[in-house]
Chains A and B, each alone.
Chain A
Amino acid sequence: MSQTIQFNLNGKAVFLKTDPMRRLLDVLRDDFSETGVKEGCGEGECGACSVFLNGKLVNSCLVAVGSITGMNVETIVHFQHTQAYRIIEQAFSDAGSVQCGFCTPGMVLAAYALLKENPDPDETDIREAISGNLCRCTGYNMIVDGIKLAAKKGDGKW
Chain B
Amino acid sequence: MVKSYHPETLEEALKILVETHCIPYAGGTDLMVRYRQGPGLVPNFDRPVMFIGHFPELTAISEKNGEFSIGACVPYRDIIRHPHTPEILRQACSLIGAPAIQNLGTMGGNICNASPAGDTLPPLSVLDATLTLRSVSGERKVSFLSFFTGPGKSILRDDELLTCIHFRLPHFTVEGYRKVGTRKANALSKIAFAGFMLKEKDMLSDVRIALGAVAPTIVRSRELENRLIGQPVAELAELMPDLLKSYGKLIQPITDQRSDANYRKTVSLRLIKNFVLKEES
Give the interface of A toward B (CB within 8 A).
1-3, 19-23, 26, 30, 39, 42-45, 47, 50, 53, 56-59, 61-64, 66-67, 69, 110, 113, 128-129, 131-133
Contact = CB atoms under 8 A, between A and B. Distances in A.
Interface of B: 1-4, 6, 25, 27-29, 32-33, 36, 38-43, 45, 49, 51, 53-54, 77, 97-101, 103-104, 184-186
B2 A1 contact: yes
Contacts of A30: 40
The listed residue with most A CB atoms (<10 A of its CB), out of B28, B36, B45, is B28
Contacts of B40: 26, 30
Given A20-B4, A58-B100, A131-B184, 10 more contacts: A1-B2, A3-B4, A21-B45, A42-B36, A56-B77, A62-B28, A64-B28, A66-B6, A113-B99, A131-B98
A44 B45 contact: no
A122 to B, nearest CB: 16
Given A57-B99, A113-B99, A21 B4 contact: yes
A22 B39 CA distance: 10
Given A21-B2, A21-B45, A44-B33, A67 B25 contact: yes
A26 B43 CA distance: 11
A4 to B, nearest CB: 11
The listed residue with most B CB atoms (<10 A of its CB), out of A30, A39, A131, is A131
A132 B186 contact: yes
The listed residue with most A CB atoms (<10 A of its CB), out of B38, B77, B103, is B103
A77 to B, nearest CB: 18
A146 B100 CA distance: 20
B13 to A, nearest CB: 13
Contact of B32 (A39, A62, A133): A62
B100 A47 contact: yes
Given A21-B2, A131-B184, A63 B39 contact: no
Contacts of B45: 21
B49 A45 contact: no
